[in-house]
Amino acid sequence: MRPAPRQQPRRIAGLALAALLVALALAASAQAAGRVALLIGNANYRNSQFQLKNPVNDVRALDAALGGLGFRVIRAEDRDAAGMRAALEAFRAAADRAEIALFFYAGHGVQAGGENYLLGSDLAELSRSAVEAAAVTLSEVQAAIRSARPELGVIILDACRDNPLTRAGAGFVDGPGLRRSSGGAGLLIAYATDPGAVAYDGAGDNSVFTAALLQHIATPGLEIRLMFGRVRQQVVLKTGGQQVPWVEESVLGEHYLNTQPTPQNLAALIDRDVARWREVSGSLEPGPYRAYLEEFPDGLFRDFAERRLARFAREPAGPRPPQGFDAAAFVAAQDHARLYAALQTLGYLPRLPGLPGEAQLKRGLEAYVAQSGDPAAFDGRQLYLEAARVNVFLGTRLGQRIRTDIVALASIDKALEVARATYAEIEAMAAKDPRARAMLDPARADLQAIEAAQFKVLARLDQSREYYAELIETAGRHFDALMTPALLGIDDQAARGLSGLGEEAERDIRLYLKHVRMAANDGTRGTLTWLSDFLPGA
C-alpha cells in the first residue's frame, strides 16, 4: 500500500487537474464539431511487471486519425486513477449531446467481482484493494457516456492483455481478459478479443487490434458496424484465429466515422451479389428473382432463385388457400419467431423489421401448405426441417465464397505490402535522380490496381461475413435441434445435389453445423471465431 502522507497531495492534484480539464472542455464545447473522443493509453506502470510497449503509440496514432475525421480529441497518457477520472469528466462535459462520443482505452484491464477494471498507471500491488483504488471501471465509462447523451456512444477497449494478476492466479480475479458488458441502446462496445481471452500487445508500433483499427477507421462510406467487422476479420486473419475481437452493440440506424462517400471508381467494383440476394430472398413475387438472375446469371444463389421461379410458375395466379387445413390453429400453437424464421427462409414471407402478426404468418403458412401438393399430409416438423436444410445450403455456399476470398485477400495484402515498399523506394530515388521520375507513374498505377483489388475483396467479404453470421444465428436460435447430419441427410446424394457442392459437400456442411452450434451457445453467440476455420490450412 502507498504511504498515507503521499495520498492527500496526489488527491488535491487530481482534483485540480479535473477542474482544469472540465473548464477547458466546457469552454470548447460550443466550438465542438459534434464528435468527441477520449483516448487513454497506459504503458508505464509503477509496478514494472505491468510495463507495456504500445498503448501510448496507439493513442497518439488514433489521435491523428480521429482528428482527421472531425473529432475533438482529449488524450491522456500514463494516467493514474485520479487522472483518468479527470479526463473522463472532461470528456463527459465536452461530449454533451454530441453526434458521437468515443472512448478508447489501451493498457491493462482485469475482470473481478463482475466488473471490468481499467488499470491506472499507479497500480503498485497485486491485491483487490489496490486494483479498486488504482482503476476506473467500465461502468463509470458507460455512465459518463449515458450522462452526455450522444447520438452514438462508442467504447473501444484494447485492454485484454495478459498481466501478472491473471498469471499469478489472484483469487479475486474472475478470469483472463475482460467480461462481456452490454451497454444499452445507442452504445457500441468493441473489445480487442473475445470475453475471457487475452490480446496481443503487438510486435510493431501498435497492438494487433489497434493496427487493424487504424487501417479501417477512416475508410470513406463504411458504416461503423461494417468497419468493426473488418477490424475483427483482420485481427483473426493476422493472428491465425488466436485473437478474435468481440463487439456488443445496440445501435439504431447507420453511423459513419468517415462520412465521405465511397469513391465512384471503387464503388463500381463492389460485387453486390450477396446484398442483392438478401434483398430479394423473401419476395412474394417472381419479378425480383428474375431481376436477380438477369444481374447475376452465374450468381452465388442462382439455384435458389431458379427454384423460387419454378414455384411461381406452378401457381401463376398465386397459391389457393388449402381446403381442410386450419392454419390459424397451427400458427397460434407455434413460437412465432421460429415460424417466421422458417417461412422467411423458404421465401413465403418477406424480410420485416419485426415479427409479423398472426394474420401475416397465416398467409405465409397457407402459401407453403398449398405448394406442398397435399394439405392433408402437412407436417409441421417437415416445414422446419426444410427450412433448416435451405439455411444450411445457403450458409455452405456462402462459406465457400468466404474461404476463396480469404485466400485471395491474403495474397493481395502481400502484394500490396511489396508494391508500397517499391513505390516508396522509387519516390526516394526520384527525389535524388530526375531520371527515375519516369518510373513513378507505372509504379503508382500498379499500386492503385492492387488497392482496388483489395477494396473489391474486402467489400465482398463484408457482405458474405454479415450474411453468414445472420444465417448461423437464425439456425442457432430456431433450428438448432434439427442441425444434425442424420436429419439433414448430408450423405444423401440428393441433398448434395440441392446445393451443387459436389465432393466437398459433407465437409463444408459439417463445418457449417459446427458454426451453428457456436451461435446456439449463449457464451459464443456473436463471436467471429468461426472465421478462423476458413483460413488456409485450417
Flag the least confident range among 8-12, 51-55, 211-215, 272-276: 8-12
pLDDT-based confidence at residue 7 (cuts at 50, 70, 90): very low
For residue range 383-408, list pLDDT tens digits in order.
Answer: 999 999 999 999 999 999 999 999 99
Whether 358 is in a domain gets the answer yes
Say what the pLDDT of residue 520 is: 95
Distance CA 93, CA 154 (A): 16
Q: In this prediction, what percent of the chain has a pLDDT beyond 70?
A: 86
CB 272 within 8 A of CB 299: no
Mode of pairing for the β-strands spanning 115-119 and 72-77: unpaired
Whether 91 is in a domain gets the answer yes
Whether 322 is in a domain gets the answer yes
Residue 258 has pLDDT above 90, yes or no: yes
Give the other-Cβ count within 10 Å of 497's Cβ: 12
CB 43 within 8 A of CB 108: no
Q: Are residues 378 and 392 in the same domain?
A: no
| Residue 247: its H or E element | strand 246-249
**Which residues contact residue 307 at a Cβ distance below 8 angstroms, ignoring those fewer than 6 apart?**
none
CB 396 within 8 A of CB 509: yes
- How many Å is the Cα radius of gyration of the chain? 27
Kindly list the strands in the beta sheet with 72-77, ordered across the sheet, starting from the edge strand earlier in the chain: 72-77, 35-41, 100-106, 152-158, 187-191, 246-249
Distance CA 178, CA 181 (A): 9
Whether 258 is in a domain gets the answer no
Mean pLDDT of 259-284: 87
- Domain's final residue, options 382, 410, 435: 382
- Arithmetic mean of pLDDT over the chain: 86
Say what the pLDDT of residue 485 is: 82
The domain tally of the chain equals: 3
Q: Are residues 408 and 438 in the same domain?
A: yes
Whether 50 is in a domain gets the answer yes
Q: Is the dihedral of CA 404, 409, 414, 419 positive or negative?
A: positive
Distance CA 417, CA 414 (A): 5
Q: How many Cα atoms are found within 13 Å in the side-chain-facing hemisphere of 70? A: 14
Whether 456 is in a domain gets the answer yes
Q: Are residues 180 and 50 in the same domain?
A: yes
SS3 content of the chain, % helix, strand, coil (to 5): 55, 10, 35
Q: Are residues 355 and 228 in the same domain?
A: no
Q: Are residues 367 and 412 in the same domain?
A: no
For residues 135, 136, 139 and 144, what is the CA-based torsion angle, rounded to 10 degrees? 170
Range of the structural domain that residue 305 is part of: 273-382
Say what the pLDDT of residue 506 is: 80
* Inter-residue long-range contacts of 303-311, CB under 8 Å, 24+ positions, other chains counted: 303/498, 303/499, 303/500, 304/277, 304/390, 304/394, 305/277, 305/280, 308/283, 308/347, 311/347, 311/371
Residue type, 430: A
Whether 267 is in a domain gets the answer no
For residue range 330-361, list pLDDT tens digits in order.
Answer: 999 999 999 999 999 999 998 888 999 999 99
**Helix (DSSP H) and strand (DSSP E) numbers for the chain:** 20, 10
pLDDT-based confidence at residue 163 (cuts at 50, 70, 90): low
Q: Which residue has the cell 435458389?
A: 304
Distance CA 338, CA 341 (A): 5
Distance CA 445, CA 272 (A): 25
Flag the least confident range among 231-240, 262-271, 474-483: 262-271
Q: Would you give the distance in Å from CA 278 to the centre of its chain? A: 18
Count Cβ neighbours within 10 Å for each residue of 310-327 and write b for 16 or more, e otherwise.
Answer: ebbeeeeeebeebeebeb
Q: Which of 124, 130, 119, 135 is nearest to 172 (CA)?
A: 130
Q: Are residues 367 and 397 in the same domain?
A: no
CB 220 within 8 A of CB 272: no
Q: Are residues 527 and 394 in the same domain?
A: yes
For residue range 294-329, list pLDDT tens digits in order.
Answer: 999 999 999 999 999 998 887 765 556 667 778 899
Q: Are residues 98 and 219 in the same domain?
A: yes
pTM of the model: 0.86
Kindly list the strands in the beta sheet with 115-119, ordered across the sheet, starting from the edge strand earlier in the chain: 135-137, 115-119, 109-112, 173-175
Q: Indicate which CATH number applies to the domain containing 126.
A: 3.40.50.1460
Say what the pLDDT of residue 197 is: 82
For residue range 220-250, list pLDDT tens digits in order.
Answer: 999 999 999 999 999 999 999 999 999 999 8
Whether 435 is in a domain gets the answer yes
Q: Are residues 312 and 182 in the same domain?
A: no
pLDDT-based confidence at residue 499 (cuts at 50, 70, 90): very low
- Domain's final residue, options 354, 382, 410: 382
Q: Are residues 393 and 333 in the same domain?
A: no
Count Cβ neighbours within 10 Å for each residue of 457-470 and write b for 16 or more, e otherwise.
Answer: bbbbbbbbbbbbbe
Q: Are residues 330 and 475 in the same domain?
A: no
Residue 120 has pLDDT above 80, yes or no: yes
Q: What are φ and ψ of residue 181, in 5° steps? A: -150, 115
pLDDT-based confidence at residue 174 (cuts at 50, 70, 90): low
DSSP string, 381-426: HHHHHHHHHHHHHHHHHHHHHHHHHHHHHHHHHHHHHHHHHHHHHH
Q: Are residues 406 and 375 in the same domain?
A: no
Q: Is the dihedral of CA 64, 121, 106, 104 positive or negative?
A: negative
- Domain's final residue, options 366, 382, 398: 382
Say what the pLDDT of residue 27 is: 42
Flag the least confident range among 82-91, 138-147, 310-319, 403-412: 310-319
Q: How far are the Cα atoms of 50, 61, 401 from residue 105, in angstroms, in the given order?
A: 15, 13, 35
Mode of pairing for the β-strands spanning 35-41 and 72-77: parallel
Q: Would you give the distance in Å from CA 358 to the centre of its chain? A: 33
Q: Report the DSSP beta bridge partners of residue 233.
A: none
